[in-house]
Amino acid sequence: MTQRIAIVTGANGGLGESMCKALIQQDRKVVGTYIPGHEEAANSWQESMKQQGFDITMKAVDVADYSACKALLEEVENELGPVDILVNNAGITRDAPLKKMQPEQWQAVIQTNLNSMFNMCQPVFEAMCNRGWGRIVNISSLNGEKGQFGQANYSAAKAGIYGFSKAIAQEGARKGVTVNSVSPGYIDTPMVRQVPEKVLDMIVEGIPVGRLGQPEEIARAVAFLTDDNAGFITGTNMSVNGGQYMA
């Protein structure tokens, strides 16, 4: 069978790297995206991955820009073939209490974390349906499920992913296209490790399993939902948070 093409946005972050590795181990041809203007870091990461035995094609794209996303997806299809798997992982934070949050902070997070779902899915969705196979996984967050102080923008965007995913899951269900979301809790990434030690200790105390999650645990959830045999799972959210929030 022809190797399926998978795209992972925000590939060279802590979670994205593990997702890329898991998909390659699933025998997918992986294309990772990074933020335009960060070519040096992306190239260095790509070379590091190659040395580990993971060959990834890297492309720059602003996921908040519909035209840029459409152009990227057309480029990938022309160069490698049709996109069968899409993992929308790119995201940003611009934290502030609502009384201090500026419109620019709100808009930046909504555009990157929520509008990107439309920007990346819409150009490939019809073709997936026409081919009779597709897997879309949208990365949400624990804080989209429960909310978080100082993250009205982030929580709103991540919560919006659920409605978006469930709606298009219904559109693709009879055509072999599944759409699901994954909601990571606190994961042991460089970003989380920047949290002050006392605060991090308090976070871990609130996690029933008593530890931070590992990036590989999120990647396994993504690989499970994108598997060829996962066709009966659609419109659902998989919470991977150590029991911190039980919906």
Choosing from 154, 162, 186, 245, the catalytic residue is 154
- Going by C-alpha positions, the residue among 162, 159, 164 that lies closest to residue 147 is 159
186 is known as an active-site residue:
no
The token pair that represents 207 in the structure block = 């996690």
The pair phi, psi for residue 211, each rounded to 5°, is -160, 165
Backbone angles phi and psi of 33, in degrees to 5: -110, 155
Closest to 136 in 3D by CA, of 104, 93, 182 = 182
Q: In what order do the strands lie in the sheet with 83-88?
A: 57-60, 29-34, 5-8, 83-88, 134-139, 177-184, 237-240
d(CA 241, CA 71): 35
The CA distances from residue 16 to 74, 129, 207, in Å, are 22, 26, 23
Q: Which residues are catalytic?
A: 154
